[in-house]
Amino acid sequence: MNTLCKNPKYNANGSIDVEVNHPVYGWIPFTASPTDTESHGLLIYQAAVSGAYGDVAPYIKSQEEIIFEVLAERDSRIYAIDQVAMNPIRWGTLTDEEKAAMSEARESLLAIEQQAGFPENVIWPDMPAGL
């Protein structure tokens, strides 16, 4: 298989996306992986890593991916608070100050999208002790 490739770029999975000059279809997208079971995929990956098609561009997260990760972290923190708040025995052992701290942290987490730096520069609220 005679392939010429261009525009190598890492993707989110650590594989490399390239454009391959297909003899019938012209330039088509192709993803080459270090664990590819097809020999041509593995050869393209190795050639790309070696620089045969130029420098491999780094992977840059999209705005949607960044937002998804921040909101997943936020949801995880809210879940930790809710596990205490929804358990009457645990909630009952907290002082009024501890309950207020959990409520404030939860409210801050719910408002994370309104921060001026969202999603790249999120200021996370301090999580209450015991979580």
Per-residue model confidence as pLDDT tens digits over 52-81: 999 999 999 999 999 999 999 999 999 999
Separation CA 39–CA 4 (nearest Å): 15
* Same-domain check for residues 46 and 67: no
* Same-domain check for residues 33 and 75: no
Interhelix angle 96-110/63-85, rounded to 10 degrees, is: 160
Q: Is residue 2 scored above 60 in pLDDT?
A: no
For 43-52, the pLDDT digits (tens) are 999 999 999 9
**69 lies in some domain:** yes
Are 118 and 69 spatial neighbours (Cβ–Cβ below 8 Å)? no
At residue 128 the predicted structure's pLDDT band, cuts being 50, 70 and 90, is: confident
**58 lies in some domain:** no
Residue 90 domain boundaries: 63-114
**28 lies in some domain:** yes
Query: How many structural domains is the chain composed of?
Result: 2
Give the model's pLDDT for residue 120.
94
* Phi, psi dihedrals of residue 61, rounded to the nearest 5°: -65, 140
Q: Which two tokens stand for residue 54?
A: 């130029």
**125 lies in some domain:** no
pTM for this predicted structure: 0.70
Angle at Cα 69 formed by Cα 66 and Cα 74, nearest 5°? Answer: 125
